[in-house]
Amino acid sequence: MATQPLRFALIAHDQKKDDLVAFAVAHADFLAVCDIVATGTTGQRILDACPSLSVRRLKSGPLGGDQQIGALIAEGLIDVVIFFVDPLTPMPHDVDVKALMRLAIVYDIPMALNLATAEIIIDNKKNG
C-alpha cells in the first residue's frame, strides 16, 4: 500500500510572504512530493518562485482562505500548517486567524508560526 503524501497548508501575512517564498524555495525538493494548499496571493508567489511545485490556491486570507484551510483541517485533509505571522502589523481578519489556530489545536495539527518552527517541522517530516 502506497503512503499518502503529506498535506501542507502554507499561509503568510503580507510582510512575511517573502520569507515564506524563500522557505518554499529552500525546501522545494521536499515540498514537491507533498500536497500543498495555500491562500491566494501566497500560493501565487510560491508558484512564481517554484514552478515545479503543485499548489492548490484558495481564496485570499481576508476573503475566506483562512476559513477554507480551517475547513480542510476539520475534514482531516491537512497534516501541517505553516503560517508565517507578522505580529507587528494589524490584522483586520484577526478572528479568522484565531479560528484557524484553534482548529489546528483542536485537531492536533502541527502549526509553525515562524521560520524557526517551520524548519523544525520540515526536518522532523524529512527524517520521520
Whether 14 is a known active-site residue: answer: no
For the beta carbon of residue 112, count every other beta carbon within 10 angstroms: 19
User: Which member of 48, 66, 79, 123 is catalytic?
Assistant: 66
The CB-based long-range contact list for 121-124 (8 Å cut-off, 24+ gap) reads 121/80, 121/82, 122/27, 122/30
Q: How many residues does the chain have?
A: 128
117 Cβ neighbours under 8 A, 6+ residues apart:
none
Catalytic residue IDs? 66
